[in-house]
Amino acid sequence: MEGIEMKDVEVKHTVAEFEEVLRGKGLRRTIPRMMILSILVESSTHLSASRLHHLVTAAQPTISISTVYRNVTAMTEHGLLHGVEYAGQTRFGIAAAPHHHVLCERCGVLADVAVEDLAQTATNLMARTGFEISPSGQVLRGRCRQCRDDRRPAVACRAPSRPVA
């Protein structure tokens, strides 16, 4: 990850502190950026650009979807956010606090995994394959507990009890 001081970013997890992080990356502190960051920090999850747009416009109705796209893209390129793909959609989360993910291929539920949980595996893989494994942002795909218990065949009729952002 080019030029990102993960150590610095890691400890700066409040919205106020993100202002400083934005500044440090040469990104201006704009209302859409601060809103996107604050929504992601508060929800502590990963959200699609359209979901983010929906939440942003609740407070700032004039902000367009393209503004949201442009800003999540810029912040992703600068290492503040990262994206997780599912069903043709990208959900964005705060990359500043390093973590991995488990993703349910059936219902799309996403959960964070501590970097320590994969550290030894990553070290082994590096030794065996020669690949430098990214220290965060990995996605392990599988089935969540609820989908493992659910014998119904397809995605279609799942009750909306757990919203997929």
Out of 21, 27, 63, 144, the residue judged to bind Zn ion by CB under 5 A: 144
CA gap 82, 2 in Å, rounded: 14
From the number of C-beta atoms within 10 Å of its C-beta (0-12, 13-18, 19+), residue 54 rates as middle
State the minimum distance, in angstroms, from the CB of residue 62 to Zn ion: 29
What is the Rg, in whole angstroms, of the alpha carbon atoms belonging to the chain? Answer: 17
State the minimum distance, in angstroms, from the CB of residue 134 to Zn ion: 12
Q: Which is nearer to Zn ion, 68 or 95 (CB)?
A: 95
CA gap 10, 13 in Å, rounded: 7
Q: Which is nearer to Zn ion, 79 or 93 (CB)?
A: 93
CB-CB neighbours of 5 under 10 Å: 12
| Total number of residues shown for the chain | 165
| Residue 147 interacting with Zn ion (CB under 5 A) | yes
| Residue 79 interacting with Zn ion (CB under 5 A) | no
Binding mask 89-128 for Zn ion (x = CB under 5 A): ----x----------x-xx-x-------------------
With contacts defined by CB under 5 A, name the span among 60-68, 73-81, 122-130, 145-153 that binds Zn ion.
Answer: 145-153
| Residue 40 interacting with Zn ion (CB under 5 A) | no
CA gap 133, 139 in Å, rounded: 12
CA gap 8, 164 in Å, rounded: 31
Q: Which is nearer to Zn ion, 55 or 144 (CB)?
A: 144
Q: Binding-site residue total for Zn ion (CB under 5 A)? A: 7
With contacts defined by CB under 5 A, name the span among 2-10, 115-123, 124-132, 143-151 that binds Zn ion.
Answer: 143-151
Half-sphere exposure of 30 (CA within 13 A, CB side): 16
Task: Summarize as ranges the residues that interact with Zn ion (CB under 5 A).
Answer: 93, 104, 106-107, 109, 144, 147
